[in-house]
Amino acid sequence: MEKLLATPLSSPDESSDVVDTQNAKHRVNRRTGREYINQYELHHKLGAGAYGVVLLAKDLEKNNMNVALKILNKKQLMKSKNDTKAQNNVLADLRREIAIMKKLDHQNVVKLYEVIDDPNSDNLYLAMEYLPGGPCWKKDSPTFQESLCRAYMRDIIMGLEYCHDNDIIHHDIKPDNILIGADHKLKICDFGVSMLVPAENDEERCVRGTPPFLAPEIINGAKTHQPYAGRPVDVWAVGITLYMFLYGFPPFKGKTIPDTFNCIVRNPLRFPNKLTPELMTLIGGILDKNPATRLTIAQIKEDPWMTMGGAWPFPVTNNKIDVNEEEMDKAITTLLPLSLIIGIKLKMGRHAENARKNLAVSRASMSQLEQSESSPSQTNDEEGDNTNSESRQSLSLIPQNTPEDPSDVQTNPDPNGPTVPEVEEQRQQNSPQVKKSGCCTIF
């Protein structure tokens, strides 16, 4: 247990542009009270979850660029599981997420900039792209027009195609995990339950994801112990997301999770309000309960509704990345046991105390002694910053023990319809203008 607790979660990867840092320095500006981790100036909280928080931060080395600083508490991560096997599974999921995010580089996928992984710290820091618009759809949000749904769907499909081309099954596609960037483009985030599944062996058995977005084959497979293909599962979740854009609720939802599962498997797809025939055909193809006949991403990209009858074709396919077992192993490195680190700190504390006593004896007078004891023990910079190791002083913005989150969502285009430039203008008009929000789903 203690060895697991003392695990910093990254090591250098020469093939990635992501910066790996193994030293977390905490500073506090005495005049302003502003806190810093290395070059990041910490601001308000964007979100919180079972194992940590996400803060808005500014990268002082990159012209105060906004980033989302995801902070995971390793102790809390381990406390949530009682047995060693479960703890290893949690670390394996985290190792996999970091290894995947280090490799991803696409306009419709959230970007990881830096991993700060200090062996003396209980926290892991992930500096990620800040997406000020927040989730693309929120509860009680107004429904979207078809033209905006088309623009959003194109972003989602391109981001998901990039993931699938690189053997990454997301497993939790939903509006909460699709965020709006500063350029009003959608970006897929939160790879916490994602899996690396090669196309030649696309079989899985685990139940992963959010209940209303689970595909029928996952639910049936859990009962029959039969494997299912991963890629069609993500496509199904995209269809549920599109349905929510249009109606504000998922097509299959019960009062309880078992009721929801029963609806997903047995209930037919219904359209409460009439849509254009082309869009209804597309949704029906995506939400086909048979994964063998469900539309693929390649077929969705050729769909008349998606391309406005060919007037808005998709760009060429994306570059392929590679995440191998060695890189996954490097995503988490083994450190000194926590008990040994604590012992070293205690010994250093005793040495410091003895040094202070010797200094007191050598002083010429009591006033000189009091003056030496009241002087700062640290060197402050010209701005009055108080620099200390993060492991010795916890951040006031970062709770040390975050409570676990109790919660478990046209063949011929209309000549009078919107053109592609008009769709982009509508996208900007409909995108939430959020100044102090923007979240990243966290563990």
Q: Was 70 annotated as part of a binding site?
A: yes
Which residue numbers are catalytic?
Answer: 172
Give, to the nearest 10 degrees, the angle between helix 230-247 and helix 146-165. Answer: 160
Looking at residue 293, the DSSP 8-state letter turns out to be: T
Q: Would strands 19-21 and 25-29 be described as parallel, antiparallel, or unpaired? A: unpaired
**CA dist., res. 10 & res. 21, Å (int):** 8
The string over 69-82, giving b where at least 16 C-beta atoms fall within 10 Å of a residue's C-beta and e elsewhere, is bbbbbbbbbbeebe
Count of Cβ atoms closer than 10 Å to residue 339 Cβ: 12
Q: Are 327 and 13 in contact (CB under 8 A)?
A: yes
Alpha carbon 179 to its chain centroid, in Å, reads: 10
**CA dist., res. 20 & res. 112, Å (int):** 11
Q: Give residues with Cβ within 8 angstroms of 255, minimum separation 6.
A: none
Q: Are 87 and 81 in contact (CB under 8 A)?
A: yes
Q: Are 309 and 412 in contact (CB under 8 A)?
A: yes
Q: Are 98 and 70 in contact (CB under 8 A)?
A: no
Alpha helices in 336-395 (DSSP H): 338-362, 366-374
- Opening angle at CA 441, ends 88 and 389, nearest 5: 65
**CA dist., res. 251 & res. 240, Å (int):** 7
Tokens of 266: 């047995």
Nearest to 68 by CA among 53, 81, 78, 79: 53
Alpha helices in 248-389 (DSSP H): 257-266, 277-286, 297-301, 304-307, 325-330, 338-362, 366-374
- Phi, psi (rounded to 5 degrees) for 406: -75, -15
Point out which residues pair with 37 in neighbouring strands: 26, 40
Place of tokens 């990209």: 301
Nearest to 378 by CA among 367, 392, 399: 392
Binding-site residue numbers for ATP are 70
Binding-site residue numbers are 70
